[in-house]
């Protein structure tokens, strides 16, 4: 009853309805209100007394600590010198907290990361006889060796140099114990207006997967078009400049100049610029769940006496040299989907690239002669990757190449015949691959892949791969 009366009284006072309440009820309620106020005053006085008591205890404790400190100082001054110099045991230091993901990157200067990889390959055809029909071979083509293979490991060191520059060095450790420099460059960090400059050795910005390291690929090997056009990947020793436009949509322009020693060029032992690249990338989001990016790139490079082995009309091995120019166009695109932008449990990725290369110059074959050479070649791939569970992905890729029909020895002074270059004979290569991978975490991956490779007209290579990839240390995030 008391609570109901108090509530009624409070409401009446608040909303100004006292005139409508009987006088006897007001009188009774007024007594009860006074009682409540008296109880509140008593509680307030009790709390204030407790606070004063606590303050007195604190002052007394502070005085005791001060007296103890003065006594200790006086005792130390009156002790013999030998006791004063005796070592004092420091209390054990507390256990340091575990480093966070962000602080672990700065735990070392420079930051160090290591990629360990390996494969098991079951190939129905001899990999030593592998070739891509219709194309002059580059440095890294084919499925690799049969059986167990260590795979290519990568050791990366990276750090900020000062407020203006950062640096990165990546060593490639091959299964045959050879060590090479994959990347070694310095780049700016403080230029304005969206400009970034990189100098040294770097993976070129042309195309989509070219500037990704092999461990970031969605399949064991590079697409056929990358093997045919660039001998694996195109990297340059030179300077790169990128400009990110200050627009609502992603828009990037870039240019590179370099030595041009990488395939389809070679080391020409001359001053000046040996290769140049320009590229443009455009992208945006589609709602909350999807995004896309498209790109266009153009590469020019030159070669002088670029060598490869061919077979003449009667099957004899012939040392062949090419000198001339190569001009390559690359069109790339990628579409990504993840429910509400969260790709941790489910996502889908569709990507593809198309390339066209024109080469013109001269061929010189040992024991055969020399003459003019020109060709127009193209290739493409399209692949889809679907993550159907947090740790599981499945992917399908189709590769296609068109070697075109080369014009060999059609100039009047030529002594060459197309029959003397059997590897350059026209052929449309195809390959289909399917993969399934398991990712226990972002630092480990296990993959199985099957491919049906028709890069040679006379045989079909049935390829089965098992692969593992382990990432140790501070590894930076991959690009979109």
Tell me: do 120 and 47 sit in the same domain. Answer: no
pTM of the model: 0.76
Tell me: do 129 and 6 sit in the same domain. Answer: no
**Domain range for 221:** 116-151+216-473
Distance (Å, rounded) from C-alpha 187 to C-alpha 160? 9
The CATH number of residue 367's host domain is 2.40.160
Tell me: do 406 and 324 sit in the same domain. Answer: yes
For residue 224, is it within any domain? yes
Tell me: do 17 and 147 sit in the same domain. Answer: no
Cβ atoms of 169 and 158 closer than 8 Å: yes
Asked if the bond preceding 187 is cis, omega within 30° of 0, the reply is: no
For 191, the 3-state DSSP assignment is coil
**Which of the pair, 326 or 108, is modelled with greater confidence?**
326
List, in sequence order, every residue forming a beta bridge with 323; answer none if it has no partner. Answer: 362
Tell me: do 25 and 120 sit in the same domain. Answer: no
Distance (Å, rounded) from C-alpha 181 to C-alpha 173? 9
Residue whose tokens read 């059609």: 410
pLDDT at 20: 45
pLDDT in tens, 328-350: 999 999 999 999 989 889 999 99
Cβ atoms of 113 and 156 closer than 8 Å: yes
Cβ atoms of 118 and 145 closer than 8 Å: no
The distance from CA 295 to its chain's CA centroid, rounded to whole angstroms, is 18
| pLDDT reading at 25 higher than 90 | no
Six-digit token pair at 92? Answer: 């054990």
Asked if the bond preceding 249 is cis, omega within 30° of 0, the reply is: no
Taking only Cα atoms into account, the Rg of the chain, rounded to an integer number of angstroms, comes to 37
Tell me: do 322 and 225 sit in the same domain. Answer: yes
| pLDDT reading at 107 higher than 90 | no
| pLDDT reading at 44 higher than 50 | yes
Q: What are phi and psi of 428, to 5 degrees?
A: -110, 105
Residue whose tokens read 């006072």: 13
Tell me: do 265 and 338 sit in the same domain. Answer: yes
Distance (Å, rounded) from C-alpha 256 to C-alpha 204? 8
Last residue of a domain, one of 12, 32, 60: 60
Last residue of a domain, one of 43, 60, 77: 60
Of the candidates 136, 158, 156, the one whose C-alpha atom is nearest the C-alpha of residue 422 is: 136
pLDDT at 209: 96
Q: What are phi and psi of 178, to 5 degrees?
A: -85, 140
| pLDDT reading at 389 higher than 60 | yes
pLDDT at 143: 92
For residue 200, is it within any domain? no
The residues, ordered by sequence, that sit 6+ positions from 135 with a Cβ below 8 Å of its Cβ are: 228, 377, 401, 403, 423, 424
Distance (Å, rounded) from C-alpha 362 to C-alpha 302? 12
For residue 280, is it within any domain? yes
Tell me: do 243 and 140 sit in the same domain. Answer: yes
| pLDDT reading at 91 higher than 70 | no
Distance (Å, rounded) from C-alpha 252 to C-alpha 328? 20
Of the candidates 377, 374, 372, the one whose C-alpha atom is nearest the C-alpha of residue 404 is: 377
| pLDDT reading at 363 higher than 70 | yes
Residue 368 DSSP one-character state: T
Distance (Å, rounded) from C-alpha 335 to C-alpha 337? 7
pLDDT at 419: 81
Last residue of a domain, one of 23, 39, 60: 60
| pLDDT reading at 70 higher than 60 | no
Six-digit token pair at 4? Answer: 């109901």
Of the candidates 197, 241, 233, the one whose C-alpha atom is nearest the C-alpha of residue 217 is: 233
Cβ atoms of 301 and 274 closer than 8 Å: yes
Tell me: do 341 and 234 sit in the same domain. Answer: yes
For residue 197, is it within any domain? no
The residues, ordered by sequence, that sit 6+ positions from 313 with a Cβ below 8 Å of its Cβ are: 417, 419, 420, 422
Neighbours of 150 (CB within 10 A): 14
For residue 32, is it within any domain? yes
Q: Give the up-direction half-sphere exposure of residue 59: CA atoms within 13 A in the CB hemisphere.
A: 6
- Average pLDDT for residues 295-312, to the nearest whole number? 93
| pLDDT reading at 430 higher than 90 | yes
| pLDDT reading at 170 higher than 70 | yes
Residues of the chain with pLDDT > 70, as a percent, come to: 82
| pLDDT reading at 420 higher than 50 | yes
For residue 451, is it within any domain? yes
For residue 157, is it within any domain? no
| pLDDT reading at 477 higher than 80 | no
**Which of the pair, 367 or 274, is modelled with greater confidence?**
274
- Average pLDDT for residues 131-158, to the nearest whole number? 90
pLDDT in tens, 188-204: 998 999 999 999 999 99
Distance (Å, rounded) from C-alpha 429 to C-alpha 457? 8
The distance from CA 246 to its chain's CA centroid, rounded to whole angstroms, is 23
For residue 190, is it within any domain? no
pLDDT at 417: 79
List, in sequence order, every residue forming a beta bridge with 297; answer none if it has no partner. Answer: 279, 330
- Helix (H) or strand (E) run with residue 335 in it: strand 317-337
Tell me: do 56 and 123 sit in the same domain. Answer: no
| pLDDT reading at 101 higher than 50 | no
Task: Kindly tell me the burial class for residue 247, based on how many C-beta atoms sit within 10 Å of its own C-beta (0-12, 13-18, 19 or more).
Answer: exposed
pLDDT at 18: 42
| pLDDT reading at 432 higher than 60 | yes
- Average pLDDT for residues 378-395, to the nearest whole number? 97
| pLDDT reading at 229 higher than 60 | yes
Residues of the chain with pLDDT > 90, as a percent, come to: 60
- Helix (H) or strand (E) run with residue 140 in it: none
Tell me: do 20 and 133 sit in the same domain. Answer: no
pLDDT in tens, 262-297: 999 999 888 999 999 999 999 999 999 999 999 999
Neighbours of 178 (CB within 10 A): 8
| pLDDT reading at 467 higher than 80 | yes
The residues, ordered by sequence, that sit 6+ positions from 132 with a Cβ below 8 Å of its Cβ are: 141, 224, 227, 228, 401, 429, 455
Tell me: do 281 and 356 sit in the same domain. Answer: yes
Residue 103 DSSP one-character state: H
By residue count, the chain amounts to 480
Q: Quote the number of domains for the chain.
A: 2
CA angle 47, 62, 93 (to 5 degrees): 110
């Amino acid at each position: 009853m008391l609570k109901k009366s108090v509530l009624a009284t409070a409401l009446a006072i608040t909303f100004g309805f006292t005139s409508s309440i009987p006088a006897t009820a007001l009188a009774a309620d007024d007594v009860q209100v006074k009682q409540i106020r008296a109880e509140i005053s008593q509680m307030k006085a009790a709390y204030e007394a407790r606070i004063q008591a606590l303050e007195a205890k604190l002052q007394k404790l502070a005085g005791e600590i001060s007296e103890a400190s003065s006594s200790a100082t006086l005792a130390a001054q009156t002790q013999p010198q030998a006791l004063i110099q005796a070592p004092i045991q420091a209390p054990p230091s507390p256990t340091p907290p575990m480093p966070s993901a962000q602080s672990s990157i700065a735990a070392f200067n420079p930051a160090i990361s290591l990629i360990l990889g390996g494969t098991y390959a079951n190939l129905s055809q001899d990999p030593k006889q592998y070739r891509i029909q219709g194309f002059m071979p580059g440095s890294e083509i084919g499925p690799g060796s049969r059986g167990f293979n260590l795979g290519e490991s990568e050791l990366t060191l990276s750090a900020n140099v000062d407020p203006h520059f950062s640096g990165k060095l990546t060593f490639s450790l091959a299964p045959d114990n050879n060590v090479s420099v994959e990347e070694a460059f310095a780049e700016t960090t403080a230029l304005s207006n969206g400009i970034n400059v990189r100098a040294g050795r770097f993976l070129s910005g042309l195309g989509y997967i070219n500037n990704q390291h092999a461990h970031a690929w969605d399949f064991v090997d590079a697409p056929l078009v990358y093997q045919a056009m660039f001998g694996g990947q195109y990297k340059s020793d030179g300077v790169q400049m990128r400009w990110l436009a200050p627009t609502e949509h992603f828009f990037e322009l870039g240019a590179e100049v370099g030595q041009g020693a990488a395939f389809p060029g070679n080391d020409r032992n001359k001053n000046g610029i040996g290769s140049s690249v320009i590229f443009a990338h455009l992208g945006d989001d589609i709602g909350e769940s999807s995004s896309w990016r498209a790109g266009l790139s153009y590469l020019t490079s030159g070669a002088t006496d670029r060598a490869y082995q061919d077979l003449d009309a009667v099957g004899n091995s012939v040392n062949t040299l090419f000198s001339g120019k190569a001009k390559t166009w690359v069109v790339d695109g990628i579409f990504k989907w993840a429910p509400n932008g969260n790709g941790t449990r489910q996502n889908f990725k569709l990507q593809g690239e198309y390339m066209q290369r024109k080469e013109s110059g001269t061929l010189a074959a040992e024991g055969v002669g020399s003459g003019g050479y020109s060709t127009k070649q193209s290739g493409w791939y399209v692949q889809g990757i679907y993550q159907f569970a947090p740790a599981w992905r499945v992917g399908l890729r189709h590769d296609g190449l068109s070697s075109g029909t080369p014009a060999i020895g059609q100039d009047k002074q030529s002594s060459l015949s197309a029959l003397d270059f059997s590897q350059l004979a026209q052929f449309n290569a195809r390959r289909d691959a399917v993969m399934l991978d398991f990712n226990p975490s972002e630092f480990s991956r296990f993959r199985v892949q099957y491919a049906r490779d028709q890069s040679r007209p006379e045989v079909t290579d049935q390829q089965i791969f098992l692969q593992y990839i382990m990432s140790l240390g501070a590894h930076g995030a991959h690009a979109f």
